[in-house]
Every structure is written in C-alpha cells, then in structure tokens.
Amino acid sequence: MTPDEIVLDGRRLEAAWWGCDTNDAPTLLLLHEGLGCVALWRDMPLRLAAGTGCRVFAYSRFGYGRSDPVTLPRPMTYMHDEALHVLPRVLSAAGIGRAVLIGHSDGGSIAAIHAGAVRDPRITGIVLIAAHFFVEEQNLQSIVQIGTEYETTDLRARLARYHANVDNAFRGWHDAWLDPRFRDFDLTKYLGGITVPVLALQGADDPYGTAAQLGCLESTVRSPLETRLLAGARHAPHLEAAVKETTLAAIAGFVRANLTEHRT
C-alpha cells in the first residue's frame, strides 16, 4: 500500500494506492461502507490488484479514517452529495481516466447514484456489495442496535483505532439513517439511468438488508446485470472467512470480463 492524500478546497482526504500502474487497465476505485475507511478494506485491495492486474485506489470520505471531519448533523442527501459532487473531483484529482467503482454498503449506494446520474465516461462498470437502494425496517433496527453497542460496549474503542474522530464518523452515519426524514431515501430513479455493467452481491444473512435490494436492481437496471445472493454471508462478504474467496473471485471475474469487453 502506498499512502497518499487528495486535497479538495483545502480539506484533506486520506487515500492509498495498491498495485502497479497499467495504462490500458481501469483503476478499481473502492468506496467504503458507512463506518469504513481505507484501512478497513484490510487485504482486499492487494488481493484485487493481484487477481486482476489493475491498480486499486481507495479513499476515506470526509468524516472517516484520517480524513478531515464533517459538520454534523449530515444532510439527508449526504450520499447523493458524495456521488454527484465529491467523487467526480476525487477521480480528477487522482488522475484516474478509467475506473470500475466497487462500493460496499453506503459506498455501493454512492456508486449507483454516480453511475446512474453523472454519465461519467470514465466509469466502465460498478460492483455493489450490500448496497442500499431503499430503506428497510430490518436495516433501521440493526442501526438502532449498533447505536446501543456503541454506547455500552467496546465498539467505540475498536472503531477509534481507525477513525481520527470516531464520534464524527459514527454519529454522521448513525444519526442520519435514524432521522425520520431518511425513510424517503430511494435510488430507483438513478438505477434506471445506469448504462455500464453491474455486479451486485448481497449476503443472505445480512442484518442491514435483504434480497429485496437485489430485486430492486433487477426490476430497474437496463444495462448488463449480474446479481448474487450469497448463502451464509452477512454484511461484509468480502471480509468474512466463509464467503471471502467466493466474493473476491466474483469481483475479479467481473473486472476481467469488463477489461475484455473494453479491449475488443
């Protein structure tokens, strides 16, 4: 991993690169979950770089990891703001000319919004891992539960190992999702605008979402789409021992197919 940073309007984003620069291959750009950051991708970037021959880039969004904090409370449109305004500037600042977006949870929602709304010619495909396209009651109940754990267990201390301002990271995500206004969150209008190939992965035992999220994609996306419901997987199949290899193989296979398609 090569540490780096992106600076937008004087504000710093923690960033990192893996793998070798290959001019004819897209960069795999990782978009983390609602409590994630660069470090919490663990060995996935290195594994993807080795398995695809692509360079991998990840950054911690404002409020996460070692990036600068955000003002709280976050707006209900925080994922839209990231997808429509911040991500395009990150791509430019990092000098990325062609990319496959790989988003987990909130990061998957951000990838879907960007691909469906921006018409960015740099994006050649998207991978959505446990992404949210609408709010489910199960999701909200799990966020209530993790809020209790944050206050009563060592969860805050564990997250503080990865986030310079752990309360900024946690409250920005937790409080936005539990705001009553957030129940109107719905990405359907963006999904129909996606024109690049899509791979969507969902854990069958994910406490933050159900197979209905995949069904939403299947009923709206018109571009090439592959969906997989992963038996035995929870919310982070790319990190969970039981399904990690299957998940990484599926992503690498999608990327290699994406490469072949764009070279012919």
How many whole angstroms separate alpha carbon 237 and alpha carbon 200?
12
Question: Would you mind telling me the total number of residues written for the chain in this entry?
Answer: 264
pTM: 0.96
pLDDT interval class at 4 (50, 70, 90) = confident
Pairing of β 27-31 and β 11-18: unpaired
Domain CATH for 101: 3.40.50.1820
Q: What is the CB neighbour count within 10 angstroms for residue 91?
A: 23
Q: Kindly report, residue by residue over 96-143, the tens digit of the pLDDT.
A: 999 999 999 999 999 999 999 999 999 999 999 999 999 999 999 999
User: What confidence tens digit (pLDDT) does each residue in 76-97 have?
Assistant: 999 999 999 999 999 999 999 9
User: Residue 42 is which amino acid?
Assistant: R
Q: How many domains does the chain have?
A: 1
| Sole residue written with tokens 């710093």 | 12
Q: How many CA atoms lie within 13 A of 7 on its CB side?
A: 2
pLDDT in tens, 160-176: 999 999 999 999 999 99
Residue 104 CB neighbour total at 10 angstroms: 29
Domain that holds residue 37: 2-263
CA gap 129, 141 in Å, rounded: 20
Res. 261: pLDDT tops 90:
no
Cβ atoms of 96 and 21 within 8 Å: the answer is no
